[in-house]
């Protein structure tokens, strides 16, 4: 391999290990080429104390995809990253890969690469790599965990891809694999706006601890953004939660659940209440703007967020009563035995 760089620094954020593995594979490739490499966990780094990269240094950012963009912690890190003049940088994202037999069905990146690239370019960087990696989907709030065999098959295929990407970058070639998906990414990008404004706040309130919780505080200590605390004797998730799934997947007693029953009940009751309010009090010529479907959706969404936060707090308080805790737990899909928890392979 012809070496263009003498140093590689990879900044990564990882909830369950997927992005961390990618950062490690890239650094391993650099080490084999006798290029000094360093991995830095974004959740433990102070961006204000980072110096601009020196000549001959390649900088990389590896992070999962949340709502077809980087999570808030990664976005803030890139936004605060020091400016430079002509240094090289790359962006790699892990996204929800799904295996059908031996074929890995790719996920979607949305606006992630384009917004991140623009930020880096404005800071003076040359973006030399944009690369999506389809590692196993770990968002078990939405679907059962992928079994171990499937996870290892996906990992094997994607490790080869990431290693090939790293070899090309480190030898001076530019790799813009993400641009192959530009059509579907542009189509799905509007979802990012809804996620940033509303979705991520709903998702931050999508966890609770059942009676299986033994107060080991493992989740509180391990949360990469410090979003978990103890309120009224129970684990409580603040709005800054990234929904990275780290806590749910490392809990030794599988006590952390997603309140599917509560979420379903909330949206049904809220929808019915708003429909009655609009039909009885907000109709007629005086409310023509509110009767516009798009505007109504925006208004309802803006109202729903604070109502949901308040409802979550009430639910958290009521869970001190065993019957409420049992209802919450038994109406959670993550409580089902076959649902499982996601574990990134340790032999990669």
Please say if the pLDDT value at position 316 is more than 70.
yes
The class of domain 7-191 in CATH terms is alpha beta
Can you give the residue ranges of every domain in the chain? 7-191, 198-339
Place of tokens 């990414």: 185
Same topology between domain 7-191 and domain 198-339: no
- The two tokens of residue 199 are 């979705």
Name the pLDDT band for 293 (thresholds 50, 70, 90): low
Inter-residue contact 105 to 94 (CB < 8 Å): no
DSSP strand E in 111-241: where?
A: 126-133, 175-176, 208-209, 228-231, 234-237
Name the pLDDT band for 121 (thresholds 50, 70, 90): very high
Euclidean distance between CA atoms 276 and 19, whole angstroms: 46
What's the whole-model pTM score? Answer: 0.90
- The two tokens of residue 302 are 């803006």
Inter-residue contact 189 to 110 (CB < 8 Å): yes
Please say if the pLDDT value at position 300 is more than 90.
no
The class of domain 198-339 in CATH terms is alpha beta
Q: What digits encode the pLDDT tens for the residues 254-285?
A: 999 999 999 999 888 877 776 676 666 555 55
DSSP label of 199: I
Q: What digits encode the pLDDT tens for the residues 179-233?
A: 999 999 889 888 888 888 788 888 888 899 999 999 999 999 999 999 999 998 8
User: What was the pLDDT predicted at 279?
Assistant: 63
Residue 21, burial from CB neighbour count under 10 angstroms (0-12, 13-18, 19+) = buried
Please say if the pLDDT value at position 114 is more than 70.
yes
Please say if the pLDDT value at position 62 is more than 90.
yes
User: What was the pLDDT predicted at 291?
Assistant: 58
Place of tokens 């094997």: 156
- The two tokens of residue 340 are 């499982």
Q: What digits encode the pLDDT tens for the residues 94-107?
A: 998 776 666 677 88
Please say if the pLDDT value at position 167 is more than 70.
yes
């Amino acid at each position: 391999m012809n070496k263009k760089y003498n140093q590689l620094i990879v900044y990564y954020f990882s909830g369950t290990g997927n992005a961390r593995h990618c950062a490690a594979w890239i650094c391993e490739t650099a080490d084999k080429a006798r290029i000094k490499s360093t991995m830095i966990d974004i959740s433990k780094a102070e961006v204000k104390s980072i110096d601009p990269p020196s000549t001959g240094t390649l900088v990389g950012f590896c992070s999962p995809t949340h709502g077809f963009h980087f999570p808030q912690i990664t976005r803030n890190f890139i936004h605060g990253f020091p400016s430079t003049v002509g240094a090289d940088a790359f962006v790699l994202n892990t996204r929800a890969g799904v295996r059908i037999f031996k074929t890995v069905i790719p996920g979607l990146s949305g606006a992630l690469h384009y917004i991140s690239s623009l930020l880096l370019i404005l800071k003076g960087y040359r973006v030399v790599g944009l690369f999506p990696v389809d590692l196993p989907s770990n968002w078990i709030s939405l679907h059962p965990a992928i079994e171990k065999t499937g996870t290892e098959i996906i990992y094997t295929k994607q490790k080869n891809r990431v290693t090939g990407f790293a070899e090309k970058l480190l030898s001076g070639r530019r790799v813009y694999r993400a641009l192959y998906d530009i059509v579907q990414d542009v189509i799905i990008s509007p979802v990012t706006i809804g996620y940033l404004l509303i979705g991520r706040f709903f998702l931050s309130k999508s966890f609770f601890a059942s009676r299986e919780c033994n107060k080991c505080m493992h989740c509180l200590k391990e949360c990469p953004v410090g979003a978990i605390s103890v309120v009224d004797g129970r684990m409580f998730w603040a709005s800054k939660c990234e929904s990275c799934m780290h806590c749910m997947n490392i809990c030794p007693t599988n006590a952390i659940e997603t309140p599917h029953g509560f979420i379903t009940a909330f949206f049904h009751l809220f929808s019915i209440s708003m429909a009655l309010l609009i039909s009885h009090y907000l109709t007629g010529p005086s409310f023509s703007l509110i009767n516009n479907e798009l505007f109504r959706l925006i208004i309802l969404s803006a109202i729903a967020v604070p109502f949901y936060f308040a409802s979550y707090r009430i639910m958290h308080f009521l869970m001190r009563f065993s019957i409420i805790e049992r209802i919450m737990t038994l109406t959670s899909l993550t409580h089902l035995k076959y649902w499982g928890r996601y574990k990134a392979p340790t032999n990669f």
